[in-house]
Amino acid sequence: MIGGKKVLALVLAGGEGSRLHPLTAERCKPSVPFNGRHRIVDFVLSNLVNSGLTSIYLLVQYKSQPLIEHVRRAWSLPQLMGHHFVSVVPPQMRQGREWYAGTADAVAQNLHLLDQQRPDLVAVFGADHVYRMDVSQMVEWHLAQRADVTVATLPVPINEAPAFGIATIDARHRIGAFEEKPRAPRSMPGRPGFALASMGNYVFSAAVLRQALVEAQARGEHDFGRDVLPRLIGSHRVVAYDFDDNRVPGLDAQEERGYWRDVGTLDAYFAANFDTLGARPRFRMANAAWPIHTAPDAGESAQVEAGHLLCSTLGPGSVVHDGWLDHALLRQEVQVHEEACLEHCILMDRVVVGRGARLRRVIVDMDNHIPPGEVIGHDAAADRARFHVSEGGIVVVPRGHFRPGAAATPAVGTEALAR
């Protein structure tokens, strides 16, 4: 209960994540690993639970089994009362054989959950962003504004605005227009060069949500940003909540206030991971006052036998036998052997880096045995011939690409290594 109102949370976790391929070749976007132990979905679930919202349905769809397994391990809330739960809901196909056709359609196909829980308010949140947020403050704003719908918003540079839903508001924060992914977005009044973007997080009055989705289904409409919100603006009170006003406890002085990242591309995902490293990170993962929860750590402690480590993170069970690690993020049970060199790399669970291998600006997915002497990230043409390379030059080695005992490819010349 917040402000005397019962709040149900619906988390949209069915994203295919095509722009994160090949990291999403075998998993959905919310289940992609992040930092040393977490998954992307842990951020929204932690924010909801820390805010006192503990009735949560997670709507899944694409390649959902890794996400389902993670939620089972990490998010089994104590069943002391019936309204404390994180429950995974695959497509039920109660209204036909169609999969979810959009964000609004995903909720529309699960309106029976509202019938079961009978909430006053429904928080509809995305599952693929990195941030901390006290959701109860947004709910209280919704109630204070006597809103029918509240949209969480933040300013973004105008050149990034075409990737978002863009809102136009008046002096009282009421949204007068909403356009999904506009080609030519307009700047905010008084703040040239920025547009007001939706974070994809909404609070609805339950009755308004139900009626809007019934009408959307009748019209064949499927998306909140493209269909439902623009229509509601003309008939209901739709307001913007300023994420910059949100406050969570425990932040260090050097952390970026209002940190929020859409990690929908490889380059954005890579950068956000490295925002968590160092003695003065832009986003500190450890915060006892507002923790980002995940599965319990049952692994052994990390070990460093020898080597040179600079601004790096070692996950449980990782072992550095020797080598050079400069801004390296190692997840669980990673092994780095003698004379290996890792520069700005993310190595996921159970990766083994052979002796003398050299990796620069590389993401290595799970269960890879990088051969001794292998070179990745030093020759752009060679990398593109073998791997997926992002627009920003990040090389991705897909899961299981290198099997144990694999031979290294011929090394590039010394002039390439010097670049």
In the 8-state DSSP scheme, what is residue 110? T
Mean pLDDT of the region 387-398: 97
Mean pLDDT of the region 55-73: 92
Q: What is the reported pLDDT for 289?
A: 97
Determine if the peptide bond prior to 90 is cis (ω within 30°). Answer: no
Q: What is the reported pLDDT for 96?
A: 56
Report helix, strand or coil for 416: helix
Dist CA 139 CA 119 (whole Å) = 13
Dist CA 31 CA 20 (whole Å) = 12
The structural domains of the chain, with segments of one domain joined by +, span: 7-262, 303-417
pLDDT in tens, 287-314: 999 999 998 876 788 999 999 999 999 9
Backbone angles phi, psi at 392, to 5 degrees: -85, 5
Mean pLDDT of the region 335-355: 97
pLDDT in tens, 393-408: 999 999 999 998 777 7
Q: What is the reported pLDDT for 195?
A: 95
Q: Do domains 7-262 and 303-417 have the same CATH topology?
A: no
Q: What is the reported pLDDT for 365?
A: 97
Mean pLDDT of the region 65-70: 93
Mean pLDDT of the region 253-263: 93
83 pLDDT above the threshold of 80: no
Options 3.30.70.370, 3.90.1150.10, 3.90.550.10, 3.30.910.20; CATH for 7-262 is 3.90.550.10
39 pLDDT above the threshold of 80: yes
Q: What is the CATH number of domain 303-417?
A: 2.160.10.10
97 pLDDT above the threshold of 90: no
**CA-to-CA dists, residue 261 to 131, 132, 223, 264, 361, angstroms:** 7, 10, 22, 9, 20
Mean pLDDT of the region 191-215: 95
419 pLDDT above the threshold of 80: no
Mean pLDDT of the region 263-284: 94
Q: What is the mean pLDDT of the chain?
A: 91
pLDDT in tens, 109-166: 999 999 999 999 999 999 999 999 999 999 999 999 999 999 999 999 999 999 899 9
**CA-to-CA dists, residue 296 to 233, 262, 344, 396, angstroms:** 44, 26, 27, 28
What is the band of 95 on the pLDDT scale with cuts at 50, 70, 90?
low
Mean pLDDT of the region 239-247: 96
Dist CA 271 CA 273 (whole Å) = 5
Mean pLDDT of the region 14-23: 87
Q: What is the reported pLDDT for 190?
A: 81
What is the band of 416 on the pLDDT scale with cuts at 50, 70, 90?
very low
In percent, how much of the chain has pLDDT > 90?
79
Dist CA 116 CA 377 (whole Å) = 52
Give the side-chain half-sphere CA count within 13 A for 214. Answer: 8
What is the band of 100 on the pLDDT scale with cuts at 50, 70, 90?
confident
Task: Tell whether pTM > 0.85.
Answer: yes
